[in-house]
Amino acid sequence: MIYRFLPISDLHGMKPEETFVDYEQAFGDVLICCGDITNRGSIGEAVDWAKDWACVAKNFKRTLMIPGNHDECFDTTPERFEALVSMMQTCMPNLEVFLGGRTHLGNLKIGFNPWVLIYGSYPFMTAEEGIRKKLERMGRVDILVTHGPSYYVLDQPKSGVHAGSHAQLRYVETHHPLVHTFGHIHESAGVARYGKTLCINAGMEEYPHPGSWERFSFTVDSETKEVKYGSDSFVIC
């Protein structure tokens, strides 16, 4: 079975038409949102995102989302979290929100980590050790969905420092997921290969510019584990 995925990230309140990317044309099996749907983290902003992006999500079977460090409304009690997700699902019925753990798609495992390294005062931030433990608990997955990048891989803000997590890089080196999708460092949006892993920073660039939705889209064959991105295809053993 071949599944088509589209990662999106760091929309920060932007509607599909404001991105200048033809997301209305997008389709596939799984829409992945790597966090930072809001600017200030309010419930209203989160529900607005579900309303605004429902027209894109409806062209996918599942929408899998993690919050980012701006999405404070998800950092709450289990009851309030469930209530918020239900509200969003009234606009976007196929939405699933993860604070960690993993899900299955056929025999593909998809794992989630919203936590990034501490920088300023935001939710979903922890030290390297915290990230290491959360990833260790998750175990090996085929597709890793995080908010932040791994150290060295598409992780440079304007200052040029490498802002990604060493613990997360070690996870990728140890478990070599087929694909790792993330955002957080907007200025490093793009696609790279780290070892055998296809790495996609799907964060909207600081200043969005026109582009095709297909630029970050990829497919995975759940039997052969073949990943295709653009003209590039490779098999992970």
**Residues at the interface with Mn ion (CB under 5 A):** 10, 36
Closer residue to Mn ion in complex, CB, 63/188: 188
What is the rounded distance in angstroms from the CA atom of residue 57 to the CA atom of residue 168? Answer: 28
Q: Supply the minimum distance, in Å, between the C-beta of residue 205 and Mn ion.
A: 11
Instruction: Break the chain down into helix, strand, coil percent, rounded to 5.
Output: 30, 30, 40
Q: Supply the minimum distance, in Å, between the C-beta of residue 234 and Mn ion.
A: 29
Q: Supply the minimum distance, in Å, between the C-beta of residue 12 and Mn ion.
A: 6
Tell me the residue number closest to Mn ion, measured at CB: 36
CB atoms under 10 Å from CB of 207, counted, come to 8
Q: Supply the minimum distance, in Å, between the C-beta of residue 35 and Mn ion.
A: 7
Q: Supply the minimum distance, in Å, between the C-beta of residue 70 and Mn ion.
A: 6
Reported as half-sphere exposure (CB side, CA atoms, 13 A), residue 74 has a value of 27
Closest by Cα among 181, 110, 180 to 141: 110
Closer residue to Mn ion in complex, CB, 10/45: 10
Closer residue to Mn ion in complex, CB, 12/102: 12
Q: Residue-wise over 68-91: b if at least 16 C-beta within 10 A, else e?
A: bbbbbbbbeeeeebeebbeebeeb
Closer residue to Mn ion in complex, CB, 10/52: 10
Closer residue to Mn ion in complex, CB, 179/185: 185
Entry field: residues in the chain: 237
